Amino acid sequence: MPELPEVEYTARQLRTSIVGATISQVHVFWERTVGHPNLATFLLEVSERRIEGVRRRGKFLLLDLSGGLFLSIHRRMTGNFLLLPPGWRIDTSLRTDDIATWNTRGPIFLLENGIENSYSRSTAYCRICFDLSDGRRLLFTDPRKFGRIELWSAEREAEALRGLGPEPFGSDFTVEYLVGELARRRVGIKQALLDQTLVAGVGNIYADEALFSASIHPQRRSDSLTPAEVRLLHDGIISVLTLGIEHGGTSFNDYRDLWGEAGDNYNHVHVYKQAGKPCLRCGTLIERIVIAQRSAHFCPGCQKLTVL
């Protein structure tokens, strides 16, 4: 699932590419991708809106529209955005010719000469297409169909994004805040970091990397951490998220950026998906365990389980 760095990197690309553009039309190819409001209202309200800003909140991508509305996008496991230049058309013939393939793949995007090219592969599994008035198309692709796009009024933003904790780069995410919150939690620290009410945007990848940075075992009880350890963890969270953004996010499966390119941060991780490889810090082999049905990767040499 795209986490804060992947969403932030895409937000920055969108901010420099589509702010100021007008959405002339919206094509919805998988209705359940629209989570709020109903489809008819969504189509009516989004069309002819100007994109006035692009933001991020946790793992949510937010597009501010004219008229006091905004789109909230949660990409879930496999959702990506792809921006097509002018000159592409939509072929929906599969909807009538091969409904099974249509339900899986969605439409086919072709250059005006009718020829697919290598870029065409990135357009597969399109669930929603936003036509921009300058001829470009913004595609939301999602092979597993878990992603959701919702339309809200600005005054209902708190409702749309309820349950999110502070931003890791925000002024309210302090060491003191983290010390207090972890002291009240009687769960493993890896589970705590995945709780979006504690800190917004951290997921499996960056929780593993932050714990490694702080030399904390993922099964340590949250309330067992000392203030000094929490300070190291706080610094580790900010550090690994910053690094992830700088390297364009972590692509080990489906995540791609606005141009269909993979992020480079997988080449810079220390423990995530590195089981069986030697730790770059001490040489001990990285291990993988399962905690609350989620994988956790750590170095048993650097991250010793000293307190439960």
**Residues identified as active-site:** 2-3, 59, 294
With tokens 């091969």, the residue in question is 98
Q: Say how many Å lie between the first and final Cα of the chain, rounded.
A: 29
String of b and e for 244-263 (b: at least 16 CB within 10 Å)?
bbebbbbbeebbbbbebebb
Residue 160 near residue 152 (C-beta atoms within 8 A)? yes
The token pair at 289 is 């365990």
241 Cβ contact partners less than 8 Å away, ≥ 6 residues apart: 4, 5, 168, 169, 201, 202, 206
The one-letter amino acid at 197: T
**From the CA atom positions of the chain, what is the Rg in Å?**
21
Distance CA 13, CA 34 (A): 23
Beta bridge partners of 139: 82, 129
Strands 287-291 and 294-298, how do they pair? antiparallel
Long-range interactions of 126-129: CB distance < 8 A, separation 24+: 126/29, 127/28, 127/29, 127/30, 127/33, 128/26, 128/27, 128/28, 128/29, 128/30, 128/33, 128/34, 129/26, 129/27, 129/29, 129/90
